[in-house]
Structure 1
Protein backbone atom coordinates (compact mmCIF):
# COMPACT_ATOMS: atom_id res chain seq x y z
CA UNK A 1 0.00 0.00 0.00
CA UNK A 2 1.39 3.46 -0.89
CA UNK A 3 2.43 5.53 2.06
CA UNK A 4 -0.06 8.29 1.26
CA UNK A 5 -2.87 5.76 1.62
CA UNK A 6 -1.87 4.59 5.07
CA UNK A 7 -4.66 5.07 7.60
CA UNK A 8 -4.44 8.35 9.47
CA UNK A 9 -4.57 6.63 12.85
CA UNK A 10 -1.49 4.53 12.10
CA UNK A 11 1.62 6.17 13.46
CA UNK A 12 4.49 6.68 11.06
CA UNK A 13 8.12 7.01 11.91
CA UNK A 14 10.18 10.05 11.00
CA UNK A 15 11.84 8.14 8.15
CA UNK A 16 8.43 7.06 6.86
CA UNK A 17 7.35 10.70 6.74
CA UNK A 18 10.55 11.62 4.87
CA UNK A 19 9.95 8.81 2.41
CA UNK A 20 6.38 9.95 1.82
CA UNK A 21 7.52 13.56 1.37
CA UNK A 22 10.16 12.41 -1.10
CA UNK A 23 7.58 10.74 -3.31
CA UNK A 24 5.30 13.77 -3.19
CA UNK A 25 8.22 15.94 -4.32
CA UNK A 26 9.24 13.46 -7.03
CA UNK A 27 5.73 13.34 -8.48
CA UNK A 28 5.57 17.17 -8.44
CA UNK A 29 8.91 17.45 -10.23
CA UNK A 30 7.82 14.92 -12.86
CA UNK A 31 4.65 16.92 -13.53
CA UNK A 32 6.64 20.15 -13.90
CA UNK A 33 9.13 18.43 -16.24
CA UNK A 34 6.32 17.06 -18.42
CA UNK A 35 4.81 20.55 -18.78
CA UNK A 36 8.29 21.99 -19.39
CA UNK A 37 8.99 19.49 -22.19
CA UNK A 38 5.66 20.32 -23.80
CA UNK A 39 6.52 24.03 -23.59
CA UNK A 40 9.98 23.36 -25.05
CA UNK A 41 8.46 21.59 -28.04
CA UNK A 42 5.84 24.31 -28.58
CA UNK A 43 8.54 26.96 -28.92
CA UNK A 44 6.85 29.10 -31.55
CA UNK A 45 3.69 29.56 -29.52
CA UNK A 46 5.20 29.74 -26.03
CA UNK A 47 8.02 32.15 -26.87
CA UNK A 48 6.90 33.82 -30.08
CA UNK A 49 3.29 34.42 -29.06
CA UNK A 50 3.07 34.28 -25.28
CA UNK A 51 6.39 35.42 -23.81
CA UNK A 52 7.27 37.99 -26.47
CA UNK A 53 3.66 39.20 -26.76
CA UNK A 54 4.08 42.21 -24.41
CA UNK A 55 7.05 43.39 -26.52
CA UNK A 56 4.82 44.02 -29.55
CA UNK A 57 2.25 46.76 -30.09
CA UNK A 58 -0.33 44.27 -31.40
CA UNK A 59 -0.53 42.65 -27.97
CA UNK A 60 -4.11 42.22 -26.70
CA UNK A 61 -3.65 44.60 -23.75
CA UNK A 62 -2.23 47.43 -25.85
CA UNK A 63 -5.08 47.15 -28.34
CA UNK A 64 -7.72 47.21 -25.59
CA UNK A 65 -6.07 50.20 -23.90
CA UNK A 66 -6.12 52.13 -27.19
CA UNK A 67 -9.80 51.26 -27.63
CA UNK A 68 -10.47 52.43 -24.08
CA UNK A 69 -8.50 55.62 -24.71
CA UNK A 70 -10.65 56.42 -27.77
CA UNK A 71 -13.80 55.67 -25.78
CA UNK A 72 -13.07 57.96 -22.83
CA UNK A 73 -10.91 60.49 -24.66
CA UNK A 74 -7.68 59.90 -22.73
CA UNK A 75 -4.99 59.22 -25.32
CA UNK A 76 -2.33 58.81 -22.62
CA UNK A 77 -3.72 55.32 -22.09
CA UNK A 78 -3.06 54.24 -25.67
CA UNK A 79 0.21 52.34 -26.12
CA UNK A 80 0.90 52.29 -29.86
CA UNK A 81 4.70 52.53 -29.82
CA UNK A 82 7.40 50.59 -27.97
CA UNK A 83 10.79 52.27 -28.26
CA UNK A 84 13.14 49.37 -27.73
CA UNK A 85 14.69 46.34 -29.42
CA UNK A 86 15.49 42.95 -27.96
CA UNK A 87 19.00 41.63 -28.55
CA UNK A 88 20.86 38.45 -27.67
CA UNK A 89 24.48 39.21 -26.79
CA UNK A 90 25.78 35.80 -25.71
CA UNK A 91 26.43 32.72 -27.84
CA UNK A 92 24.25 30.40 -25.75
CA UNK A 93 21.74 33.06 -24.68
CA UNK A 94 18.85 32.00 -26.91
CA UNK A 95 19.18 28.30 -26.09
CA UNK A 96 19.42 28.94 -22.34
CA UNK A 97 16.50 31.34 -22.59
CA UNK A 98 14.50 28.62 -24.34
CA UNK A 99 15.29 26.19 -21.51
CA UNK A 100 14.54 28.66 -18.72
CA UNK A 101 11.24 29.73 -20.29
CA UNK A 102 10.21 26.10 -20.70
CA UNK A 103 10.94 25.44 -17.04
CA UNK A 104 9.03 28.57 -16.02
CA UNK A 105 5.97 27.56 -18.05
CA UNK A 106 6.21 24.07 -16.57
CA UNK A 107 6.29 25.57 -13.08
CA UNK A 108 3.29 27.82 -13.74
CA UNK A 109 1.20 25.06 -15.31
CA UNK A 110 2.27 22.51 -12.72
CA UNK A 111 1.80 24.78 -9.71
CA UNK A 112 -1.73 23.53 -8.87
CA UNK A 113 -0.51 19.94 -8.93
CA UNK A 114 2.55 20.89 -6.87
CA UNK A 115 0.34 22.45 -4.21
CA UNK A 116 -1.99 19.43 -4.30
CA UNK A 117 0.90 17.07 -3.61
CA UNK A 118 2.14 19.24 -0.74
CA UNK A 119 -1.40 19.42 0.62
CA UNK A 120 -1.74 15.63 0.47
CA UNK A 121 1.34 15.41 2.67
CA UNK A 122 0.15 18.01 5.19
CA UNK A 123 -3.54 17.08 5.38
CA UNK A 124 -3.23 13.80 7.37
CA UNK A 125 -1.57 15.72 10.21
CA UNK A 126 -4.51 18.08 10.66
CA UNK A 127 -7.30 17.66 13.17
CA UNK A 128 -10.82 16.89 11.82
CA UNK A 129 -11.94 20.48 12.44
CA UNK A 130 -8.92 21.82 10.59
CA UNK A 131 -9.53 19.48 7.66
CA UNK A 132 -13.12 20.63 7.44
CA UNK A 133 -12.11 24.29 7.60
CA UNK A 134 -9.50 23.87 4.87
CA UNK A 135 -11.75 21.98 2.47
CA UNK A 136 -11.30 23.22 -1.09
CA UNK A 137 -7.85 24.67 -0.40
CA UNK A 138 -6.34 23.26 -3.59
CA UNK A 139 -9.15 24.66 -5.73
CA UNK A 140 -8.94 28.11 -4.10
CA UNK A 141 -5.16 28.28 -4.43
CA UNK A 142 -5.30 27.17 -8.08
CA UNK A 143 -7.99 29.69 -9.04
CA UNK A 144 -6.28 32.58 -7.26
CA UNK A 145 -2.93 31.64 -8.79
CA UNK A 146 -4.45 31.56 -12.28
CA UNK A 147 -6.11 34.95 -11.73
CA UNK A 148 -2.83 36.40 -10.45
CA UNK A 149 -0.88 35.05 -13.43
CA UNK A 150 -3.41 36.53 -15.88
CA UNK A 151 -3.41 39.83 -13.99
CA UNK A 152 0.38 39.97 -14.13
CA UNK A 153 0.62 38.88 -17.77
CA UNK A 154 -2.18 40.95 -19.28
CA UNK A 155 -1.86 44.09 -17.16
CA UNK A 156 1.26 44.52 -15.03
CA UNK A 157 3.82 43.05 -17.45
CA UNK A 158 2.84 45.01 -20.59
CA UNK A 159 2.48 48.29 -18.70
CA UNK A 160 5.86 47.70 -17.02
CA UNK A 161 7.47 46.94 -20.38
CA UNK A 162 5.98 50.14 -21.76
CA UNK A 163 7.24 52.17 -18.81
CA UNK A 164 10.82 50.90 -18.96
CA UNK A 165 10.98 51.18 -22.75
CA UNK A 166 9.76 54.79 -22.66
CA UNK A 167 11.94 55.92 -19.76
CA UNK A 168 15.05 57.84 -20.85
CA UNK A 169 17.68 59.71 -18.89
CA UNK A 170 18.83 61.31 -22.14
CA UNK A 171 17.27 61.47 -25.59
CA UNK A 172 20.52 60.36 -27.24
CA UNK A 173 20.35 56.93 -25.58
CA UNK A 174 18.70 54.04 -27.38
CA UNK A 175 17.03 51.15 -25.55
CA UNK A 176 18.52 47.81 -26.57
CA UNK A 177 17.27 45.35 -23.96
CA UNK A 178 19.01 42.04 -23.53
CA UNK A 179 16.70 39.08 -24.11
CA UNK A 180 17.47 37.52 -20.73
CA UNK A 181 16.69 40.82 -18.96
CA UNK A 182 13.30 41.08 -20.68
CA UNK A 183 12.45 37.43 -19.95
CA UNK A 184 13.43 37.66 -16.28
CA UNK A 185 11.37 40.83 -15.81
CA UNK A 186 8.22 39.40 -17.41
CA UNK A 187 8.45 36.02 -15.68
CA UNK A 188 9.15 37.62 -12.30
CA UNK A 189 6.11 39.87 -12.64
CA UNK A 190 3.82 37.07 -13.78
CA UNK A 191 4.86 34.56 -11.13
CA UNK A 192 5.03 37.26 -8.45
CA UNK A 193 1.44 38.32 -9.17
CA UNK A 194 0.37 34.68 -9.02
CA UNK A 195 1.86 34.38 -5.54
CA UNK A 196 0.54 37.81 -4.50
CA UNK A 197 -2.99 36.67 -5.25
CA UNK A 198 -2.59 33.98 -2.58
CA UNK A 199 -3.13 36.72 0.02
CA UNK A 200 -6.72 35.66 0.86
CA UNK A 201 -5.60 32.05 1.42
CA UNK A 202 -2.68 33.16 3.59
CA UNK A 203 -4.95 35.46 5.61
CA UNK A 204 -7.45 32.64 6.02
CA UNK A 205 -4.91 30.32 7.64
CA UNK A 206 -3.27 33.09 9.66
CA UNK A 207 -6.66 34.08 11.02
CA UNK A 208 -7.43 30.47 11.90
CA UNK A 209 -4.11 30.38 13.74
CA UNK A 210 -4.91 33.59 15.63
CA UNK A 211 -1.99 35.51 14.15
CA UNK A 212 -3.99 37.97 12.03
CA UNK A 213 -7.35 39.60 12.72
CA UNK A 214 -9.76 41.69 10.67
CA UNK A 215 -9.29 44.62 13.05
CA UNK A 216 -5.53 44.51 12.55
CA UNK A 217 -5.91 44.53 8.75
CA UNK A 218 -8.44 47.36 8.97
CA UNK A 219 -6.07 49.47 11.05
CA UNK A 220 -3.37 49.08 8.39
CA UNK A 221 -5.73 49.47 5.42
CA UNK A 222 -4.73 53.09 4.77
CA UNK A 223 -1.07 52.12 4.80
CA UNK A 224 -1.78 49.26 2.40
CA UNK A 225 -3.66 51.58 0.02
CA UNK A 226 -0.77 54.05 -0.01
CA UNK A 227 1.73 51.27 -0.79
CA UNK A 228 -0.52 49.92 -3.56
CA UNK A 229 -0.92 53.38 -5.11
CA UNK A 230 2.84 53.94 -5.02
CA UNK A 231 3.40 50.62 -6.77
CA UNK A 232 0.77 51.57 -9.34
CA UNK A 233 2.45 54.92 -9.95
CA UNK A 234 5.84 53.24 -10.48
CA UNK A 235 4.76 50.76 -13.15
CA UNK A 236 2.18 52.84 -15.04
CA UNK A 237 2.45 55.82 -17.39
CA UNK A 238 2.12 59.27 -15.74
CA UNK A 239 -1.67 59.13 -15.79
CA UNK A 240 -3.93 58.83 -12.72
CA UNK A 241 -6.40 56.57 -14.54
CA UNK A 242 -3.65 54.03 -15.31
CA UNK A 243 -2.54 54.14 -11.70
CA UNK A 244 -6.05 53.33 -10.49
CA UNK A 245 -6.37 50.62 -13.14
CA UNK A 246 -3.45 48.79 -11.57
CA UNK A 247 -4.23 49.55 -7.92
CA UNK A 248 -7.94 48.69 -7.92
CA UNK A 249 -7.59 44.88 -8.20
CA UNK A 250 -4.97 44.86 -5.44
CA UNK A 251 -7.19 46.95 -3.18
CA UNK A 252 -10.07 44.56 -3.83
CA UNK A 253 -7.80 41.66 -2.93
CA UNK A 254 -6.86 43.29 0.37
CA UNK A 255 -10.51 44.07 1.15
CA UNK A 256 -11.44 40.48 0.33
CA UNK A 257 -8.85 39.30 2.83
CA UNK A 258 -10.41 41.51 5.52
CA UNK A 259 -13.85 40.04 4.82
CA UNK A 260 -12.44 36.52 4.98
CA UNK A 261 -10.81 37.21 8.34
CA UNK A 262 -14.02 38.78 9.68
CA UNK A 263 -16.11 35.80 8.55
CA UNK A 264 -13.75 33.35 10.26
CA UNK A 265 -13.87 35.35 13.48
CA UNK A 266 -17.68 35.34 13.48
CA UNK A 267 -17.79 31.61 12.82
CA UNK A 268 -15.34 30.84 15.62
CA UNK A 269 -17.21 33.13 18.02
CA UNK A 270 -20.45 31.32 17.20
CA UNK A 271 -18.85 27.91 17.67
CA UNK A 272 -17.35 28.94 21.03
CA UNK A 273 -20.75 30.25 22.16
CA UNK A 274 -22.44 26.95 21.29
CA UNK A 275 -19.93 24.93 23.33
Structure 2
Protein backbone atom coordinates (compact mmCIF):
# COMPACT_ATOMS: atom_id res chain seq x y z
CA UNK A 1 0.00 0.00 0.00
CA UNK A 2 2.77 2.43 0.92
CA UNK A 3 4.69 1.60 -2.28
CA UNK A 4 1.59 2.26 -4.40
CA UNK A 5 1.02 5.53 -2.58
CA UNK A 6 4.61 6.59 -3.09
CA UNK A 7 4.61 5.61 -6.78
CA UNK A 8 1.37 7.51 -7.43
CA UNK A 9 2.85 10.67 -5.95
CA UNK A 10 0.28 10.76 -3.12
CA UNK A 11 1.13 10.96 0.56
CA UNK A 12 -0.23 8.54 3.12
CA UNK A 13 -1.99 9.78 6.26
CA UNK A 14 1.27 9.50 8.16
CA UNK A 15 3.02 11.43 5.40
CA UNK A 16 0.50 14.27 5.67
CA UNK A 17 1.01 14.40 9.43
CA UNK A 18 4.77 14.58 8.91
CA UNK A 19 4.40 17.46 6.42
CA UNK A 20 2.03 19.23 8.83
CA UNK A 21 4.47 18.76 11.70
CA UNK A 22 7.34 20.24 9.69
CA UNK A 23 5.17 23.16 8.55
CA UNK A 24 4.10 23.97 12.13
CA UNK A 25 7.72 23.71 13.27
CA UNK A 26 8.86 26.21 10.61
CA UNK A 27 6.04 28.60 11.53
CA UNK A 28 6.86 28.39 15.25
CA UNK A 29 10.56 29.00 14.57
CA UNK A 30 9.79 32.10 12.47
CA UNK A 31 7.36 33.47 15.08
CA UNK A 32 9.79 32.83 17.96
CA UNK A 33 12.69 34.50 16.11
CA UNK A 34 10.55 37.53 15.20
CA UNK A 35 9.23 37.67 18.76
CA UNK A 36 12.78 37.70 20.10
CA UNK A 37 13.78 40.51 17.75
CA UNK A 38 10.72 42.57 18.68
CA UNK A 39 11.37 41.91 22.39
CA UNK A 40 14.88 43.35 21.99
CA UNK A 41 13.51 46.53 20.38
CA UNK A 42 11.38 47.42 23.39
CA UNK A 43 11.73 51.19 23.12
CA UNK A 44 10.81 51.38 19.41
CA UNK A 45 7.91 48.92 19.81
CA UNK A 46 6.22 50.74 22.66
CA UNK A 47 6.87 54.14 21.13
CA UNK A 48 4.65 53.01 18.25
CA UNK A 49 2.04 51.31 20.44
CA UNK A 50 1.71 54.14 22.93
CA UNK A 51 1.71 56.96 20.36
CA UNK A 52 -2.11 57.03 19.92
CA UNK A 53 -2.61 58.05 23.57
CA UNK A 54 -0.75 61.35 23.14
CA UNK A 55 -2.41 64.64 22.22
CA UNK A 56 0.10 65.29 19.41
CA UNK A 57 -0.64 62.02 17.59
CA UNK A 58 -0.34 62.28 13.81
CA UNK A 59 -4.09 61.83 13.25
CA UNK A 60 -4.93 64.86 15.38
CA UNK A 61 -2.33 66.96 13.57
CA UNK A 62 -3.71 65.99 10.15
CA UNK A 63 -7.29 66.78 11.24
CA UNK A 64 -6.18 70.19 12.51
CA UNK A 65 -4.23 70.91 9.31
CA UNK A 66 -7.18 69.85 7.14
CA UNK A 67 -9.66 72.03 9.04
CA UNK A 68 -7.26 74.98 9.04
CA UNK A 69 -6.81 74.54 5.28
CA UNK A 70 -10.62 74.74 4.94
CA UNK A 71 -10.59 78.00 6.88
CA UNK A 72 -11.73 76.55 10.21
CA UNK A 73 -9.52 77.50 13.14
CA UNK A 74 -9.63 74.34 15.21
CA UNK A 75 -7.15 72.74 17.61
CA UNK A 76 -7.51 69.73 19.86
CA UNK A 77 -7.05 70.56 23.50
CA UNK A 78 -3.76 69.29 24.86
CA UNK A 79 -3.95 66.57 27.47
CA UNK A 80 -1.58 64.35 29.39
CA UNK A 81 -3.04 61.04 30.53
CA UNK A 82 -0.40 59.01 32.42
CA UNK A 83 -0.34 55.26 32.02
CA UNK A 84 0.34 53.37 35.23
CA UNK A 85 1.17 49.80 36.18
CA UNK A 86 -0.47 48.42 39.33
CA UNK A 87 0.99 44.92 39.41
CA UNK A 88 4.58 43.83 39.93
CA UNK A 89 4.91 41.74 36.77
CA UNK A 90 2.45 43.68 34.60
CA UNK A 91 5.00 45.53 32.45
CA UNK A 92 7.15 42.44 31.83
CA UNK A 93 4.15 40.25 30.93
CA UNK A 94 2.77 43.01 28.69
CA UNK A 95 6.14 43.18 26.95
CA UNK A 96 6.09 39.43 26.28
CA UNK A 97 2.45 39.41 25.14
CA UNK A 98 2.93 42.33 22.77
CA UNK A 99 6.10 40.77 21.32
CA UNK A 100 4.29 37.49 20.61
CA UNK A 101 1.25 39.14 19.03
CA UNK A 102 3.34 41.44 16.83
CA UNK A 103 5.48 38.47 15.81
CA UNK A 104 2.39 36.57 14.65
CA UNK A 105 1.17 39.66 12.79
CA UNK A 106 4.49 40.23 11.01
CA UNK A 107 4.82 36.53 10.25
CA UNK A 108 1.26 36.27 8.89
CA UNK A 109 2.30 36.49 5.20
CA UNK A 110 4.72 33.62 5.75
CA UNK A 111 2.06 31.69 7.70
CA UNK A 112 -0.41 32.14 4.82
CA UNK A 113 2.27 30.98 2.39
CA UNK A 114 2.95 27.83 4.43
CA UNK A 115 -0.77 27.05 4.77
CA UNK A 116 -1.29 27.52 1.03
CA UNK A 117 1.69 25.30 0.24
CA UNK A 118 0.22 22.63 2.51
CA UNK A 119 -3.24 22.59 0.85
CA UNK A 120 -2.16 23.42 -2.72
CA UNK A 121 -1.52 19.79 -3.81
CA UNK A 122 -5.25 19.14 -3.33
CA UNK A 123 -6.29 22.11 -5.50
CA UNK A 124 -6.81 22.35 -9.24
CA UNK A 125 -4.82 24.95 -11.18
CA UNK A 126 -7.86 27.25 -11.49
CA UNK A 127 -8.48 26.93 -7.74
CA UNK A 128 -4.86 27.80 -7.00
CA UNK A 129 -5.20 31.01 -9.03
CA UNK A 130 -8.30 32.06 -7.10
CA UNK A 131 -6.70 31.02 -3.81
CA UNK A 132 -3.85 33.48 -4.36
CA UNK A 133 -6.37 36.23 -5.11
CA UNK A 134 -8.58 35.42 -2.10
CA UNK A 135 -5.62 35.20 0.28
CA UNK A 136 -4.31 38.55 -0.98
CA UNK A 137 -7.70 40.26 -0.58
CA UNK A 138 -8.28 38.80 2.90
CA UNK A 139 -4.84 39.90 4.08
CA UNK A 140 -5.22 43.37 2.54
CA UNK A 141 -8.62 43.90 4.19
CA UNK A 142 -7.21 42.74 7.52
CA UNK A 143 -4.32 45.21 7.32
CA UNK A 144 -6.69 48.03 6.33
CA UNK A 145 -8.79 47.21 9.40
CA UNK A 146 -5.70 47.33 11.63
CA UNK A 147 -4.61 50.69 10.20
CA UNK A 148 -8.13 52.07 10.52
CA UNK A 149 -8.14 51.16 14.20
CA UNK A 150 -4.61 52.43 14.89
CA UNK A 151 -4.86 55.79 13.12
CA UNK A 152 -8.55 56.66 13.56
CA UNK A 153 -10.74 54.64 15.90
CA UNK A 154 -8.47 53.97 18.85
CA UNK A 155 -6.79 57.40 19.21
CA UNK A 156 -10.08 59.29 18.88
CA UNK A 157 -11.94 56.98 21.27
CA UNK A 158 -9.03 57.15 23.74
CA UNK A 159 -8.95 60.94 23.53
CA UNK A 160 -12.67 61.09 24.25
CA UNK A 161 -12.83 58.53 27.05
CA UNK A 162 -9.55 59.34 28.78
CA UNK A 163 -10.26 63.06 28.96
CA UNK A 164 -13.93 62.73 29.94
CA UNK A 165 -14.54 63.86 33.52
CA UNK A 166 -17.70 64.03 35.59
CA UNK A 167 -15.87 66.39 37.94
CA UNK A 168 -12.60 68.32 37.67
CA UNK A 169 -11.39 66.87 40.97
CA UNK A 170 -11.41 63.34 39.55
CA UNK A 171 -8.16 62.63 37.71
CA UNK A 172 -7.98 59.95 35.02
CA UNK A 173 -5.08 57.52 35.23
CA UNK A 174 -5.20 54.55 32.85
CA UNK A 175 -3.51 51.25 33.62
CA UNK A 176 -1.11 49.84 31.05
CA UNK A 177 -3.06 46.59 31.03
CA UNK A 178 -6.33 48.40 30.26
CA UNK A 179 -4.69 50.39 27.45
CA UNK A 180 -3.04 47.39 25.76
CA UNK A 181 -6.09 45.15 26.16
CA UNK A 182 -8.42 47.74 24.63
CA UNK A 183 -5.93 48.52 21.86
CA UNK A 184 -5.40 44.87 20.90
CA UNK A 185 -9.10 43.95 21.13
CA UNK A 186 -10.33 46.87 19.06
CA UNK A 187 -7.54 46.54 16.48
CA UNK A 188 -7.97 42.79 16.02
CA UNK A 189 -11.76 43.02 15.85
CA UNK A 190 -11.55 45.75 13.20
CA UNK A 191 -9.24 43.51 11.17
CA UNK A 192 -11.83 40.72 11.37
CA UNK A 193 -14.83 43.00 10.70
CA UNK A 194 -13.17 44.31 7.54
CA UNK A 195 -13.55 40.80 6.09
CA UNK A 196 -17.27 41.51 5.60
CA UNK A 197 -17.06 41.87 1.78
CA UNK A 198 -15.20 38.54 1.48
CA UNK A 199 -17.64 36.87 3.86
CA UNK A 200 -20.56 38.18 1.78
CA UNK A 201 -18.86 37.01 -1.43
CA UNK A 202 -18.45 33.46 -0.06
CA UNK A 203 -22.09 33.33 1.07
CA UNK A 204 -23.15 34.71 -2.31
CA UNK A 205 -21.13 32.10 -4.17
CA UNK A 206 -22.76 29.40 -2.04
CA UNK A 207 -26.18 30.78 -3.01
CA UNK A 208 -27.26 31.91 0.47
CA UNK A 209 -27.45 35.64 -0.27
CA UNK A 210 -27.40 38.06 -3.20
CA UNK A 211 -27.22 41.83 -3.75
CA UNK A 212 -31.01 42.22 -3.80
CA UNK A 213 -31.36 40.48 -0.46
CA UNK A 214 -28.77 42.77 1.15
CA UNK A 215 -30.54 45.81 -0.31
CA UNK A 216 -33.88 44.61 1.04
CA UNK A 217 -32.57 44.22 4.60
CA UNK A 218 -30.44 47.38 4.75
CA UNK A 219 -32.33 48.80 7.75
CA UNK A 220 -32.07 45.56 9.73
CA UNK A 221 -28.39 45.27 8.81
CA UNK A 222 -27.73 48.78 10.11
CA UNK A 223 -29.26 47.92 13.50
CA UNK A 224 -27.29 44.66 13.64
CA UNK A 225 -24.09 46.51 12.75
CA UNK A 226 -24.69 48.95 15.58
CA UNK A 227 -25.16 46.04 18.00
CA UNK A 228 -21.91 44.41 16.83
CA UNK A 229 -20.10 47.76 17.06
CA UNK A 230 -21.40 48.22 20.62
CA UNK A 231 -20.02 44.79 21.56
CA UNK A 232 -16.52 45.25 20.14
CA UNK A 233 -15.96 48.88 21.19
CA UNK A 234 -15.54 50.70 24.51
CA UNK A 235 -18.89 51.69 26.08
CA UNK A 236 -19.39 55.15 24.62
CA UNK A 237 -21.61 56.55 21.89
CA UNK A 238 -18.81 58.43 20.11
CA UNK A 239 -16.72 55.31 19.44
CA UNK A 240 -19.88 53.39 18.53
CA UNK A 241 -20.60 55.89 15.74
CA UNK A 242 -16.99 55.82 14.55
CA UNK A 243 -17.06 52.03 14.22
CA UNK A 244 -20.58 51.80 12.79
CA UNK A 245 -19.87 54.11 9.84
CA UNK A 246 -16.99 52.08 8.26
CA UNK A 247 -18.71 48.75 8.93
CA UNK A 248 -21.87 49.94 7.20
CA UNK A 249 -19.66 51.21 4.38
CA UNK A 250 -18.31 47.66 4.05
CA UNK A 251 -21.90 46.42 3.89
CA UNK A 252 -22.51 48.66 0.88
CA UNK A 253 -19.22 47.43 -0.63
CA UNK A 254 -20.51 43.86 -0.18
CA UNK A 255 -23.60 44.74 -2.24
CA UNK A 256 -21.38 46.09 -5.04
CA UNK A 257 -19.18 42.96 -4.92
CA UNK A 258 -22.19 40.64 -5.17
CA UNK A 259 -23.63 42.73 -8.03
CA UNK A 260 -20.42 42.48 -10.05
CA UNK A 261 -20.03 38.78 -9.31
CA UNK A 262 -23.61 38.09 -10.42
CA UNK A 263 -23.07 40.13 -13.58
CA UNK A 264 -19.87 38.24 -14.44
CA UNK A 265 -21.66 34.97 -13.76
CA UNK A 266 -24.44 35.93 -16.18
CA UNK A 267 -21.85 36.80 -18.86
CA UNK A 268 -20.09 33.45 -18.39
CA UNK A 269 -23.44 31.62 -18.50
CA UNK A 270 -24.41 33.40 -21.74
CA UNK A 271 -21.06 32.46 -23.28
CA UNK A 272 -21.65 28.80 -22.40
CA UNK A 273 -25.18 28.88 -23.90
CA UNK A 274 -23.95 30.53 -27.10
CA UNK A 275 -21.15 27.98 -27.46
CA UNK A 276 -23.60 25.09 -27.02
CA UNK A 277 -25.97 26.56 -29.63
CA UNK A 278 -23.15 26.97 -32.16
Q: Which of residues 146, 158, 162 is equivalent to 1:161?
A: 158
Aligned equivalent of 1:133: 130
- Give 1:147 shift: 1.4
Partners of 1:263 and 1:146 in 2: CA distance? 24
Aligned equivalent of 2:29: 30
RMSD: 3.2
- Residues 22-171 of structure 1: pairs in structure 2 closer than 5 A: 22-47=21-46, 49-70=47-68, 71=70, 73=72, 75=74, 78-82=75-79, 84-171=81-168
> Counterpart of 2:10 in 1: which secondary structure?
coil
> Counterpart of 2:83 in 1: which secondary structure?
strand
* 8 Å CA contact 2:67, 2:73 repeated in 1: yes
Q: TM-score with structure 2 length normalisation?
A: 0.79
Distance 1:269 1:124, change over 3 A: farther
Aligned equivalent of 1:178: 175
Q: Which of residues 202, 206, 210 is equivalent to 1:205?
A: 202
- Give 1:150 shift: 0.9
Aligned residues: 263
* 8 Å CA contact 2:39, 2:99 repeated in 1: yes
Moved more, 198-207 or 181-190: 198-207
CA deviation string 1:165-200 (max 9, x = no partner): 133455543222111110111122222222222222
CA deviation string 1:10-68 (max 9, x = no partner): 43333333332333333222222232222111111110x21110111111112222334
- Give 1:154 shift: 0.3
Aligned equivalent of 1:3: none
Q: Which of residues 151, 171, 184 is equivalent to 1:187?
A: 184
- Give 1:127 shift: 4.1
Q: TM-score with structure 1 length normalisation?
A: 0.80
Partners of 2:203 and 2:45 in 1: CA distance? 37
Moved more, 15-24 or 147-156: 15-24
Instruction: Answer with 1 or 2: which has the greater Rg.
Output: 2
